[in-house]
Amino acid sequence: MTCDSIATFIPLYYYGELTPEEEDGVEEHIHQCRDCAHAMEQQRVLAAALDRRDMQVPPLLLEDCRADLIAAVHGGVSQLTAPVRSSVKKGPWRLFLDAVADSLSNLGRLRQPIGAVALVAIGFFGARLTTPRPAAVAHPAASDDNTFTTVRSVQPDNTGGVQIAFDETRRRVEHGRLDDPRIQSLMLAGAHEDNPAVRWESMDLLNYREGATEVRDALLNAVAQDTNPGVRQKALEKLKPLASDPEVRKTLSRVLLTDDNDSVRMQVVDLLVAHRDDYMVGLMQGLVQRERNDSLRLKLEKALKDMNASVGTF
Amino acid sequence: MADAAGTVGARLSPQIDSLIRAAQSGDQDAFEQLVRTYDQSVLRLAMNLLRSPEDARDVYQEAFLRVYRNLHSFRFDCSFHTWLYRIVTNICLDQLRKRKVRKEESSTVETSEGPVDRMEAFEEEAAHADPERSLWNHQLRTRIEDALRDLTPRERMVFELRHYQGLRLRNIGEILGTTEEAAKNCLFRATQKMRSVLGDFT
């Protein structure tokens, strides 16, 4: 191999894109050629400097992007109208989200604005769709304010027109007291809705009363299985009066070991330490040894001290 | 340095396929799971290329809405990762081309505390440990940033996909609608340009 061909191979060698024979050729050459060995070193220095330039994605940004996407997807028609927001000019979707987020930002609870944005977005875009317009094509929902339309696909058809597939949902409104069994059953149904904002709102309104095992089970189910950490946290909040219930403590100990969200786990510790039992102390003593999150580890240590238990297991 | 998105996608292929099929038939949970499998690496790619959380957020939103709208047309004739990255890289390339025209790209990152230069922030952190080394790092980084700005959008994309996302050149060619050989040439030109700025830094 010549120095010219080695120059071409150096980045490919570094990134492991050469055949074994080519790799052998490069190694043999740089072993004998000081200039090419230097070029290889330059490649390594460059790669190391570039590694340090790598940007880590802020977790909140990722959560924010996901919430925006879910809101847009659940908003149905927004996906067809939302333009890419430019840094100079904001589109209607962004302006709408900004306005709602601004009006809710003083609530101080991150998940609530996100959930509320999703809820309001459904109403906003649903209302836009169902507002009667002097459209050339009759809209099935145009005559009924309680029918909501979600467009699933828009494609050109063979005749030069457009084929639109959409779902229609009819809305009914029920009023009643929170202890009304009919309202309770609707709220329990809301706890299983696809939309995390609806699940969050349902959790917020569900209140445990003596003997209402279906409410307790719905809350436990949300804590253990809901994919949205905001919903899990809201369910945990509502489980406070049940912190001594053995079934609740069993689920909470499982969540403490398995949940991937540190805020949820922090909240679980708060609930668990409210009532001391030996099993829980053992669980926390084991966990404190291997916990990676500093805040959570400190919280566990403090909880153990508060319960007069040793921090380590012996 | 390598991102595992492609590898994870390949390893989880049967699960991914069933998620795609479920999402194609309207299962929202499946769609969300599908998004969560890939979205971190998509956002990271956009952040690295555009150096702006706001622009990266736009790319994320636009890319996954396109996926949502067009998932029904995905026919499994390539991996989902490749299909998704075709969408993402097209959007990013458009942004990079616009910036080339406007010549306003910056390494400044917009944060809630105001604009912050990632390189400067790193340098300040390092300065406590070794001021001399820090100055050397700062100069090297400035040169690298300049060199990155001088790459064509396509060279920049190939480089990002290989160096930061850890994709194979064959896969990169497939994503960008070109050959492995053309991707190799792009990578070579990109690294040559960047190595030439190193000068006496080694």
pLDDT higher at A204 or A121: A204
For the stretch A257-302, pLDDT in tens is: 888 888 888 888 888 887 777 777 887 888 887 777 888 888 888 8
Tokens of A284: 């926390």
Q: What is the ipTM of this complex?
A: 0.80
Distance CA A310, CA A304 (A): 6
Lowest pLDDT segment from A126-135, A256-265, B69-78, B154-163:
A126-135
Closest CA relative to residue B48, chosen from A50, A63, A11, A12: A50
As a whole number, mean pLDDT of residues B170-186 equals 95
Closest CA relative to residue B70, chosen from B94, B90, B50, B47: B90
- Residues 32-91 on B with a CB inside 8 Å of A are 32, 35-36, 39-40, 43-44, 47-48, 51-58, 60-62, 64-65, 68-69, 72, 91
For the stretch B62-78, pLDDT in tens is: 999 999 999 999 999 89
According to DSSP, the β-strands at A162-170 and B114-117 are unpaired
Distance CA A35, CA A27 (A): 13
A chain contacts of residue B1, beta-carbon cutoff 8 Å:
47, 50-51, 54
Residue in B40, B118, B184 nearest the CB of A55: B118
For the stretch A229-240, pLDDT in tens is: 888 888 998 888
Query: Taking every pair of C-alpha atoms in chain A, what is the biggest distance, in angstroms?
Result: 87
Q: Give the number of A-B residue pairs with CB atoms closer than 8 Å.
A: 126
Identify the band that residue B43 occupies on the pLDDT scale cut at 50, 70 and 90: very high
pLDDT higher at B141 or A70: A70
Percent pLDDT > 70 in chain B is 74
Mutate to test the interface with A, among B3, B19, B28, B32 (most CBs of A within 10 A): B32
Rounded to the nearest integer, the mean pLDDT of chain A is 73
The answer, for A58 touching chain B at a CB cutoff of 8 Å, is yes
As a whole number, mean pLDDT of residues B5-31 equals 77
Closest CA relative to residue B66, chosen from A73, A1, A233: A73
The answer, for A186 touching chain B at a CB cutoff of 8 Å, is no
Q: What H or E segment, with its residue span, contains residue A142?
A: none
The answer, for B117 touching chain A at a CB cutoff of 8 Å, is no
Per-residue pLDDT, B142: 80
In DSSP notation, chain B reads: ----HHHHHHHTHHHHHHHHHHHHTT-HHHHHHHHHHHHHHHHHHHHHHH--HHHHHHHHHHHHHHHHHHGGG--SSS-HHHHHHHHHHHHHHHHHHHHHHHT---SEEEETTEEEEHHHHHHHHHHTT-HHHHHHHHHHHHHHHHHHHHS-HHHHHHHHHHHTS---HHHHHHHHTS-HHHHHHHHHHHHHHHHHHHGGG-
Residue A225 amino acid letter:
Q
| Long-range pairs of A278-285 with CB within 8 A, sequence gap ≥ 24 | A279/A253, A280/A249, A280/A253, A281/A307, A281/A309, A282/A313, A283/A253, A283/A256, A283/A257, A284/A309, A285/A309, A285/A310, A285/A311, A285/A312, A285/A313
Distance CA B66, CA B41 (A): 17
For the stretch A156-186, pLDDT in tens is: 777 778 777 777 777 777 777 777 777 777 7
Per-residue pLDDT, A121: 47
